[in-house]
Structure 1
Amino acid sequence: MEDKAILSVSLVVYKNNPELLRKVISSIFETPFKIHMTVVDNSPTSQLSTLFSGVKNIDYLYNDSNNYGFGKAHNIAINHFNARYHLVVNPDVYFNANVIPELIKYLESNQDIGLISPIIYYPNGEIQYLCKRYPSIFLLFARRFIPKKLQILFQKHLDWYEMRDIGYGNVMDVPYLSGCFMLFRRKYLDEIGYFDENIFMYLEDADITLRMSRKYRTVFYPHVHIFHHWGKGSYKSFKLMMINIQSAIYFFNKHGWFLF
């Protein structure tokens, strides 16, 4: 099993907290498999290189021209090293050593799965409801712009979008998994194509999950968990909010518009 379960990992960084980066690196390399990580640094300077340079089984690629964005940078890393499985991971997550082996074990037993993700918690232990159905204009607008106190008026619809009606205690097929931790079967990923580079950031995870789900299962597996700090940058930055809106328009033009 260990010889077959060779894993490549892509990590895209942009001016991230070094302590959080150390935690994700430690989490990955505590996994008892042969692992190769490729880090693509979109930061304005290569200051973070000291965390990766000279570290065994980590290739550090600094982008000295401009910020590639999430999807394109991960594509560079995916193309950099070929393995049986590929993990796309965010720089603000951490997890125990059993997480990846358990997910790979499930993939080995279910050859129809192309993408799998675990249950995701905030560091305080609260669940992040990141399994989603196909988005609509209203759902994206409500989550981003309607104040929390008023969202209760639409709570049933918002809960449906986050698949809370099914519950987060059982394995389930999900059309939209979070990009903070996506474990792919590499041969299926090669088949359906990598991240859409027309999406700079946001909804690239929805796009790739949806494309994978048309041919293979995209699965939420709640029997192992990770922790995710989840900065919600588009809620704090006007620039990121506009990028989010542009990504949504592109996504809906590509896959279809739904008002509600």
Structure 2
Amino acid sequence: MNKPAELTISLVVYKPLMKQLSETLQSLALSLSQVDVSYHIYVIDNTPESEFSAVNEKYLSTFFSHNDVSYIRKEQNVGFGKAHNFTVGLKSTFHLVLNPDLTMDKDAIEKSIQYLLNNKKCGLLTPYVTWSDGKVQRLCKNYPSVFILLLRGFAPKIIRRLFKAKLNKYEMVDEINDHTVFINPPMVSGCFMFFRTEVWNKCGGFDSRYFLYFEDFDLSIRVKEISQIAYVPEVKIIHHGGFAARKGIKHIILFFKSMMLFFNTHQWKWF
């Protein structure tokens, strides 16, 4: 690249698994070292101040210089999207919304920046993602129905197999592959959302009414109203999180609250 780009990164944590978070920060540091870019990282800690958090300035300084990272501790858990929205209004060329439970290829940042530099109509890039076991995690999705979301999130495998064709259609299995760029999928999930910052700012970040879940679907629908979204499989990520149903009743309640808000905001589709 002829000219260094400016990149801001927001990463929200809440009682994180420290081994997993350390791996995320290590892979981020390595990927940033491969590209000529000025950057600043904002780590927003949603762990309530009344509870212990192992994340602090000293911990972060083992990965990044003091001038390149800011640590913000919230008094209480304000929600995933609302915490990321701390970075709305920042002046940079690109902005990365990053989960604390992933690792990226060392060239992921470089390839993301290069794609957006070469494709001015694109405002949001989504990568090729696999789970820890190597299975593909399909971030690009068709608009969901209530039935599909319940089936995918909570039904046993034997039931899901009966509706494999419907699930494959929802996850765009026949349209998305590991080698072809896909422009404007209907929605994208967001463990790694690489924005042109002007688009992030114009959308106002996430809708803060979503405490957790569906804020990425909602935002990607709004992004498409003003710019392109591109699935770029050259950018490769391993994601270790997900699976609301396995995280206990609190997460299941949050999932249903956000699902209702999503359909009320956009359009209800039952089947």
Query: TM-score, structure 2 length as denominator?
Result: 0.90
Structure 1 position 2, deviation (Å): 6.3
Give the match for residue 224 of structure 2: 213
Match of 2:152 among 143, 150, 162: 143
Partner AA of 2:15 in structure 1: K
C-alpha distance in 2 between matches for 1:234 and 1:152: 18
Partner AA of 1:104 in structure 2: I
1:69-109: per-residue Cα shift (whole Å, max 9, x none)? 11000001344x43100000000111122111111111111
Please give the root-mean-square deviation of Cα atoms over the aligned residues, in Å: 1.6
C-alpha distance in 2 between matches for 1:46 and 1:150: 40
Match of 1:47 among 49, 54, 58: 54
- Where do residues 10-159 of structure 1 align in structure 2 (5 Å cutoff)? 10-30=10-30, 31=32, 32=35, 33-44=37-48, 45-49=52-56, 50-52=58-60, 55-64=66-75, 66-79=76-89, 81-159=90-168
Give the match for residue 194 of structure 1: 205
Structure 1 position 148, deviation (Å): 1.0
Give the match for residue 178 of structure 1: 189
1:256 aligns with 2:260: no
Partner AA of 1:36 in structure 2: H
Structure 1 residues not aligned, in runs of 5+: none
Structure 1 position 10, deviation (Å): 0.2
Q: Flag the 1:93–1:78 CA change in 2: closer, same or farther, 3 A.
A: farther
Partner AA of 2:234 in structure 1: H
Partner AA of 2:20 in structure 1: L
Q: Are the equivalent residues in 2 in contact too, given 1:39–1:77 (CA < 8 A)?
A: no
Q: Are the equivalent residues in 1 in contact too, given 2:244–2:255 (CA < 8 A)?
A: no
SS in 2 for 1:194: coil
C-alpha distance in 2 between matches for 1:160 and 1:233: 21
Q: Are the equivalent residues in 2 in contact too, given 1:121–1:227 (CA < 8 A)?
A: yes
1:164-193: per-residue Cα shift (whole Å, max 9, x none)? 021323111212212110000011222222
Q: Are the equivalent residues in 1 in contact too, given 2:85–2:204 (CA < 8 A)?
A: no
Q: Flag the 1:48–1:124 CA change in 2: closer, same or farther, 3 A.
A: same
Q: Are the equivalent residues in 1 in contact too, given 2:15–2:53 (CA < 8 A)?
A: no
Identity %: 37
Number of positions where the alignment pairs a residue of Structure 1 with one of Structure 2: 258
Q: Are the equivalent residues in 2 in contact too, given 1:119–1:223 (CA < 8 A)?
A: yes
C-alpha distance in 2 between matches for 1:210 and 1:104: 22
C-alpha distance in 1 between matches for 2:5 and 2:190: 21
C-alpha distance in 2 between matches for 1:120 and 1:205: 16
SS in 2 for 1:48: coil
